[in-house]
Amino acid sequence: LAKTTQPISMDSYEGQEVNITCSHNNIATNDYITWYQQFPSQGPRFIIQGYKTKVTNEVASLFIPADRKSSTLSLPRVSLSDTAVYYCLVGDRSGNNRLAFGKGNQVVVIP
Amino acid sequence: DTGVSQDPRHKITKRGQNVTFRCDPISEHNRLYWYRQTLGQGPEFLTYFQNEAQLEKSRLLSDRFSAERPKGSFSTLEIQRTEQGDSAMYLCASSLVPPGQGGYEQYFGPGTRLTVT
């Protein structure tokens, strides 16, 4: 499974757009990029998944450049409740779907 | 609530005791996964089931760990002869994967926090 690298933590002010980056230099052709969010004392929650270019849903946008060696999760106008750990994962969608989490990025939203 | 549920939410046990955790997945989901998460780390995959078949268990941490899903619905994770290093959050997740297709969205339960004293 391709390994990912994320910043350990970041702070943002309430109401701002937050962009969280992830590096995955060894991503394979069949790999997708998936982001999960985890609040304290809860299980992770799926946010968004993409293969290339841009994907948007009601929660976030995912930007993937042409070389796919990195990706950026964008959270518009964050609120205090967006304080969480954000995990970037890469892997194909076949087989056992075993998720390989790294340490994630702790995002703290400040009033 | 139709999400993944886990029981108990918290378990404190003494070293050497056996513990069993239960997971009830979303009802129509055919895959069920177990993960372990320690403080400051992301979840670590342990094992998974496709219906009642356990398709991967090589990541179970030792032979003290075992999991079952006898009727393809709920699952149990048992740890025998617990050690202090087993203290962690044990997460269960489920997903619906149609035959011949893949998927990557897993729905996680709230976890069972195990403390071994």
pLDDT digits (tens, 9 = 90+) for A38-72: 999 899 999 999 999 999 999 999 999 999 999 99
What value, to the nearest 5°, has the Cα angle with vertex B62 and ends A31 and B57?
40
A-B interface: how many C-beta pairs under 8 angstroms? 73
Would you say residue A1 has pLDDT above 80?
no
pLDDT for res B72: 84
- Using a CB-CB cut-off of 8 Å, the residues of chain A touching B105 are 34, 46, 49
pLDDT in tens, B11-52: 999 999 999 999 999 998 999 999 999 999 999 999 999 899
Instruction: Report the percent of chain B where pLDDT is more than 90.
Output: 72
pLDDT in tens, B96-107: 887 766 666 899
CA B65 – CA B80 distance, rounded (Å): 7
pLDDT for res B86: 96
Q: What is the mean pLDDT of residues B73-90?
A: 96
- Cβ-Cβ contacts under 8 Å for A50 (sequence gap 6 or more): A32, A33, A62, A64, A71
The alpha-carbon gap from B49 to the nearest alpha carbon of chain A, in Å, equals 9
A50 vs B: CB within 8 A: no
Would you say residue A2 has pLDDT above 70?
no
